[in-house]
Amino acid sequence: MNDTPESLSSARTLWELLDRRARLTPGRPLFLQGGRAITCAGFRDRAERVAAGLHALGVRAGTVVAWQLPTRIETALLSFALARLGAVQSPLIPHLRDREAGFALRESGAEYVAVPGVWRGHDHTEMVRRLGAKGVFEAYHDLPEGDPSVLPEPPADGTAVRWIYWTSGTTSAPKGVLHTDRSLIAGGSCLAHALRPTPADVGSIAFPYAHIGGPDYTVMLLLYGFPALLLEQFALPQSLAEYRAHGVTVAGGSTAFYSMFLAEQRKRPGTPVVPTLRLLAGGGAPKPPELYYAVTREMGVRLLHGYGMTEVPMITMGSPDDTDEQLATTEGRPPAGTEIRVVDGEIRLRGEAVCRGCLDPAQTAEAFDEEGFLRTGDLGHLTGSGHLVLTGRLKDVIIRKGENISAREIEDLLHRHPAVGDVAVIGLPDAERGELVCAVVERAPGIEPPSLEELVTFLRAEGLSVHKLPERLEVADALPRGRTLRKVLKYELRERYGGTTAGRCGYSGTVK
């Protein structure tokens, strides 16, 4: 067979993509976990048996099935079995609890719910039953199986909505985002063609498979025919043994993952933390330029960062052809077929990878402009080479005395300070200024935290405009983070510090 990654990306459905990969390289591993491995053909064949088992339970094309499962081979099998049937899937991140999980189950109208039973001390079965879920079954070790000969033909329409992904819902009710097989394949193709993996690579999925990155990454595996290590829980240094045992060459997930690998590397300078590792890649959160240079300098690996969201799983991605400057300061370029338009500083998108809207029609109307471009809420600009530079979010702009200030710009500069482990810059209410600039600094291990005066002096030396200088400093042992890609939860910081009049170091008095 002469299939290429480019030709495989034209598959109409995820099941068709899996079937073509299984025929092309039947004996090649697809997923690795602990001492287990499953080949491309073995995965397809068992997923079809699971589809038959689900069919016997009553799952049909169009049936809404929610699943709240950790990152396991069984989870991927269940998901592809549902894709084989043409069911509508509603993946839920495993650590969602009553409020968000209950909202998603009600709004999606899920007719069946797959859970892991008791996982990491939480009884998911009891929770979803308490929430009134129907058709509850456990799918951690065992999956329903049956005779595939009873199955109807696989779905052929890849443009039908068959996926409901949920935004984090950190500040309001979760938002159900509608995807098709084709939009997920398009997003995964962008990731794959930018990273250019080879069959000799070994990837890793260390984030929840229920995240939009789950199918994104799996599409890449199927296009290029290489396996990935699955981790139920990512923690360093505990997970390093798995990375080393399986010879992982491509790792990452988000900015926090890079920082964790770098911290491990610094424990033993000069000795590769994972000897086979050649590339860190990911997205989902801003990447400070200084982190890029530290990773490449100290770990000796490439770092390719990208930009995506639940509504568009992959928008841009760094490429091996990019310069260090482009990789450090941009989010890469969009693939062919993705249109990026910048309107009043806001990035707007149109293309096959863009979701088909939201479960709530009112949210759909709000999300798209009159020409069908998705409003991302992110601020940025395109360079002359077509690379995208993110400068912040519409909701992350601090308005001080009528002047817009980008929190991202200040954060990138503060990351260069040796006493700053991590940092988040937020705006806090202020009667005189409207908002004041507050830097929340995470302690660097073994180093005394800086004073506000030291940070202001440092930022002045870096050339930051006077009106952007922080007026308040808070020092935290750890910044609050989400559990999926470990993004900093700025709303928690605003709630924590917004009701007080001064931080530990007070106001500097340097900005009037």
Share of the chain above pLDDT 90, in %: 78
Q: Are 111 and 64 in contact (CB under 8 A)?
A: yes
In a domain, 90, yes or no: yes
What strands lie across the sheet with 88-91, from one edge to the other?
A: 136-138, 112-115, 64-67, 88-91, 161-166, 176-180, 357-358
Verify that 434 and 289 share a domain, yes or no: no
Per residue in 376-420, pLDDT tens?
998 899 999 999 999 877 877 788 877 778 888 899 999 999 999
Cis preceding-peptide flag for 5 (omega within 30 of 0): no
222 backbone dihedrals φ, ψ, rounded to 5°:
-70, -35
Domain endpoint, select from 309, 338, 367: 338
DSSP 7-50: HHTT-SSHHHHHHHHHHHSTTSEEEEETTEEEEHHHHHHHHHHH
Distance CA 132, CA 257 (A): 36
Show the tokens assigned to 23.
Answer: 């025929």
User: Please, what's the b/e burial string for 51-74 (b: 16 or more CB within 10 A of its CB; e: otherwise)?
Assistant: bbbbbeeebeeebbbbbbbbbbbb
Q: What DSSP letter does each residue of 62-110 carry, written as one string?
A: T-EEEE---S-HHHHHHHHHHHHHTPEEEE--TT--HHHHHHHHHHHT-
End-to-end Cα, the chain, rounded Å? 70
pLDDT the model gives residue 503: 44
pLDDT band at 336 (very low <50, low <70, confident <90, very high): confident
Instruction: Answer yes or no: do 155 and 218 share one domain.
Output: no
Sheet containing strand 434-443, edge to edge, reads 420-430, 434-443, 472-476
Task: Determine the pLDDT at residue 310.
Answer: 93
Q: Are strands 302-309 and 279-282 parallel, antiparallel or unpaired?
A: parallel
Strand partners, 392: 379
CATH of the domain at 259: 3.40.50.980
- Do 166 and 217 fall into the same domain? no
Does 139 map to a domain? yes
- Alpha carbon distance 200, 390 (integer Å): 33
Q: Specify the pLDDT at position 258.
A: 93
pLDDT at residue 73, rounded to an integer:
98
229 and 330 assigned to the same domain? yes
Domain boundary among the residues 181, 214, 236 is at: 181
More confident residue, 98 or 393: 98
Q: C-alpha dihedral over 37, 42, 48, 54, to 10 degrees?
A: -30
Residues 169 and 293 in one domain: no
Domain count, the chain: 3
How far from chain centre, in Å, is Cα 128? 25
Residue 506 maps to a domain: no
How far is Cα 123 from Cα 125, in angstroms, rounded to an integer?
Answer: 6
Token pair recorded at residue 192: 């794959």
**Is there a domain that residue 146 lies in?**
yes
Cα angle 305, 228, 62 (rounded to 5 degrees) comes to 90
Q: What is the CATH number of the domain that holds 492?
A: 3.30.300.30
Closest residue by Cα to residue 378 from 337, 406, 399 = 406
pLDDT in tens, 428-465: 988 777 789 999 999 888 899 999 999 999 999 998 88
Q: 168: pLDDT confidence band, cut at 50, 70 and 90?
A: low
Instruction: Report the C-alpha gap between 199 and 176 in whole angstroms.
Output: 35
Mean pLDDT of 170-185: 85
Based on the domain organization, do 171 and 189 belong to the same domain?
no
CA-wise closest residue to 213 among 314, 329, 130? 314
Q: What is the DSSP string of 397-444?
A: EEEETTEEEEHHHHHHHHTTSTTEEEEEEEEEEETTTEEEEEEEEEEP
Among 288, 309, 338, the domain boundary falls at: 338
Dihedral of alpha carbons 418, 424, 429, 435, sign: positive
If asked whether residues 45 and 111 sit together in one domain, one would say yes
- Hey, which residues does 307 pair with through a beta bridge? 316
- Does 405 map to a domain? yes
SS3 387: coil
Q: Is a pLDDT exceeding 70 seen at residue 153? A: yes
Q: How far is CA 63 from the centre of its chain?
A: 27
Same structural domain for residues 412 and 304? no
Residue 42 lies in a domain: yes
pLDDT at 434: 78
The pLDDT value recorded for residue 171 is 45
pLDDT of amino acid 393: 78
Looking at the fold, whether 177 and 190 belong to one and the same domain comes out as no
Residue 490 has pLDDT above 80, yes or no: yes
Report the DSSP pairing between strands 374-382 and 388-393: antiparallel
Quote the CA–CA distance of 61 and 83 in Å, as a whole number: 9
Is residue 334 one of the residues assigned to a domain? yes
- 282-335 confidence digits (pLDDT tens): 987 778 899 999 999 999 999 999 999 999 999 999 999 999 999 999 999 999
Residue 180 in this model has a pLDDT that exceeds 90:
yes
- Average per-residue pLDDT in the chain? 92
Question: What DSSP element (H or E) covers 393?
Answer: strand 388-393
Specify whether 84 is located in the same domain as 214: no
Domain extent, residue 284, equals: 183-338
Task: Measure CA 33 to chain center.
Answer: 21
- At residue 504, does pLDDT exceed 60? no
pTM: 0.84
Residues 439 and 298 reside in one and the same domain: no
- 511 pLDDT band, cuts 50/70/90, is very low
The total of other beta-carbon atoms located within 10 Å of residue 501's CB is 9
pLDDT band at 506 (very low <50, low <70, confident <90, very high): very low
The answer to whether residue 382 sits within a structural domain is: no
**pLDDT band (50, 70, 90) for residue 254:** confident
Provide the pLDDT confidence category of residue 60 given band limits of 50, 70 and 90.
Answer: very high
Distances (CA, A) of 290 to 15, 258, 320, 355, 417: 41, 12, 19, 33, 10
Domain match, 221 and 302 both: yes
Judged against a pLDDT cut of 70, whether residue 85 lies above it is answered with yes
